[in-house]
Amino acid sequence: MDERERIEAATARWAQALAGAKPLAPEALPCGIPVEPLYTPADVEGGYLERLGVPGEYPFTRGVYPTMYRGRPWTIRQYAGFGTAEESNRRYRYLLEHGQTGLSVALDLPTQCGYDSDDPMAEAEVGRVGVAIDTLRDMEILFDGLPLDRVSTSFTINGTAAILLAMYVAVAEAQGVAPARIAGTIQNDILKEYVARGTWIFPVEPSLRLIADTIEFCAERLPRFNPISIAGAHFRDAGGTAVQEAAYTLADAFAYVETVRARGIEVDRFAPQLSFFFYTYTDVFEEVAKYRAMRRLWARVMRDRFGARRPESLMFRFGNVCGGHSLTREEPLNNIARVTLGALASVLGGTQSMFTAAWDEAYAIPTEESARTALRIQQILLHESGAARTIDPLAGSYYVEALTERMERAIEAELLRVDAQGGMVRAVETGWVQREIHREAYRQERERQAGTRVVVGVNRFRDKRAAPPVAMHRADPALAARQAARLDQVRRTRDGARVAQALAALREGATGKDNLMPLLLDAVRACASVGEIAGVLREVWGVFREPAVV
């Protein structure tokens, strides 16, 4: 009898010893994967070097970099932005002063959907969920005093990502920073917008083209900038499971890889700049296994299906956010505990960059104080908890390794279902993905209402008399008028002929096949507004029509 058989026999004896009591039923993770009550060496599959290896080497299960946080900590990147560029600039300076290490810009809905602040479509939304950016002038103010060769910036922007990227490059030029030195990410992941987030503008085909343009542009000109952050976070927060989040995100990524490859661009030229973004909720093991499984799966598919050869192309680099639907409005300080536990899971899962939400997120934009506490979560994890001192510390855990294998297979199975729909682009266009997520969201809501999915302070352990917290952020009623006035002033002082010329060139380019980035750069440099640029593209390409999904 070899060791495995001996342990299996002993496990059977252990299970028998329990027979006096009720036999232990496997429980399930929130994503539905069942877990056994006990894992032993007999549950660990495969050879160590093949399945795990060392950090920084294929299959990257243990981390994408050889030194991980011992070499460089993850980037502390709190999502922030509200009101006008001045107010957001102040908040960024506050966060950097308090030890944040990267910027993450939240943009208001008009900017995300390609409307100017004075557009009737923008009413009541200017500066509400993020900062309002109309023209290059706003972008300059936003980064006033923040040298772009020293900070890295992430923009949560999709439909108008290419325009914002052009503005960021233009600000760098104005600051005297060479574009090759700027670092950061634009989200630029349109496929998930159609499914879960909703800030799409154009139909699928031209949207993919715009994404391919930015990917190609970054590969050539901005080696330190990620042209896309393929974001599963929104699948998750729309109600998808961890498995769906992982599978649909990878499916999106493969679709983008195919789109760019179809232009005849070698996979190794652009794959190293692809990055990812996810939600981490509070189920620690599900999250750790999810990240480890995705790293291994990505490396394998990129190597075997797409023929990538550079190690950088196989590295699954991701950022994450802790918060969202894992937080509650009830007893909101409980959220500090939740975000902390999610953040720990992210670190144990090997994240490259993290946003920890503030405890009052369910009420309002964070106050300085709640934003600071959110930031401190990451600093305590990094400097006090010791969880970042050794790499992939949960490796070898019988449970975590078995779960990582199981998670990888579940993600693969879901990817096959997407393939059966004709691929991700088709699955999005027909509304299949939307339906899958809605079904899951409904199931979870039913579980919450039935109390089988416990949410502390909501469906169990709730003090109904507990008072809501004080000191919330208050919105500024004069904001929209101020922003419109600035836009008006830019329009009056800019060179009108230059703007008209740039927009005409863009209209022309949009009908053709050449990369649009140089034309977008010309337009933003001339101070054409986000609304004007998006308007031209809308004229040429039309808008996406949402499939009716039930």
Partner 1 sequence: MYDPVVLADVAAHQAVWEAEVRQRLAGAPAAACRTQSGLPLKPVYTPADVARLDYATDLGFPGAFPFTRGVRATGYHTKEWTRRQVVGIGTAEETNARLRYLFAQGQTGFSVCGMGYANYDSDAEHAEGFVGRGGVWIDTLADIETLFDGIDMRAVTINQIGSSIPVFAMLLALAEGRGIPWEALRGTIQNWVEPGGQGPARRGNGAVDILEFCTQRMPRWNSASISVRNTRDQGCTAPQEVAFGCFQGAYTLAAAIARGLDAGQVATRLSFFLSAENDFLEEVAKYRAMRRLWARLVRERFGVTDPRACMLRFHVQTSALALTRQQPLNNVVRSSLHALAAALGGAQSMSVNSFDEVLATPTRAAATLSLRTQQIVACETGVTKVVDPLGGAFCIEALTDQIEVAARDLLATLEALPDRDAFARMQELTREEAYRRQRAIDAGELAVVGVNCFGDAADEGDGAPRIEPLRYEPGWRDKQIRRLEAARRARDAGRAAAARARLARAYEARENIVPAMLQAVQAYLSIGEIARVREAALGEPFRPTTWNFGR
Q: How far is the CB of 426 from partner 1 (least distance, A)?
A: 35
Q: How far is the CB of 42 from partner 1 (least distance, A)?
A: 9
3-state secondary structure 262-303: CCCCCHHHHHHHEEEEEEECCCHHHHHHHHHHHHHHHHHHHH
Q: How far is the CB of 446 from partner 1 (least distance, A)?
A: 18
Which DSSP string do the residues of 179-194 spell out, in sequence order? Answer: GGG-EEEE---HHHII
Nearer to partner 1, 393 or 431 (CB): 393
Retrieve residue 343's tokens. 């953040």
Nearer to partner 1, 200 or 281 (CB): 281
What 3-state class would DSSP assign to 103? strand
Burial 413-443 (b: 16+ CB within 10 A, else e): ebbeebeebeebbebbbebbbbebbbebbee
Q: How far is the CB of 402 from partner 1 (least distance, A)?
A: 10
Nearer to partner 1, 33 or 139 (CB): 33
Q: How far is the CB of 335 from partner 1 (least distance, A)?
A: 9
Q: E strands within 346-419?
A: 353-356
Q: Which of 100, 78, 104, 67 is closest to 379 using CA atoms?
A: 100
Burial class (CB in 10 A: 0-12, 13-18, 19+), 82: buried
Q: How far is the CB of 507 from partner 1 (least distance, A)?
A: 50
List of residues 6+ apart from 416 with CB closer than 8 A: none
Establish whether the linkage from the previous residue to 59 is cis, with ω within 30° of 0. yes
Q: How far is the CB of 154 from partner 1 (least distance, A)?
A: 22
Q: How far is the CB of 359 from partner 1 (least distance, A)?
A: 8
Nearer to partner 1, 29 or 499 (CB): 29
Nearer to partner 1, 140 or 368 (CB): 368
Nearer to partner 1, 345 or 433 (CB): 345
Q: Which of 300, 299, 298, 280 is closest to 288 using CA atoms?
A: 280
Q: How far is the CB of 529 from partner 1 (least distance, A)?
A: 38
Phi, psi at 277, each rounded to 5°? -150, 130
Nearer to partner 1, 22 or 545 (CB): 22
Nearer to partner 1, 18 or 500 (CB): 18
Nearer to partner 1, 57 or 266 (CB): 57
Q: Report the C-alpha gap between 55 and 165 in whole angstroms.
A: 32
Q: How far is the CB of 469 from partner 1 (least distance, A)?
A: 10
What 3-state class would DSSP assign to 259? helix
CA end-to-end distance (rounded Å), the chain: 56
CB of 45 within 8 A of CB of 79?
no
| Amino acid, single-letter form, for residue 381 | L
Nearer to partner 1, 373 or 483 (CB): 373
List of residues 6+ apart from 98 with CB closer than 8 A: 372, 375
Q: Report the C-alpha gap between 16 and 503 in whole angstroms.
A: 76
Nearer to partner 1, 218 or 293 (CB): 293
Q: How far is the CB of 201 from partner 1 (least distance, A)?
A: 37
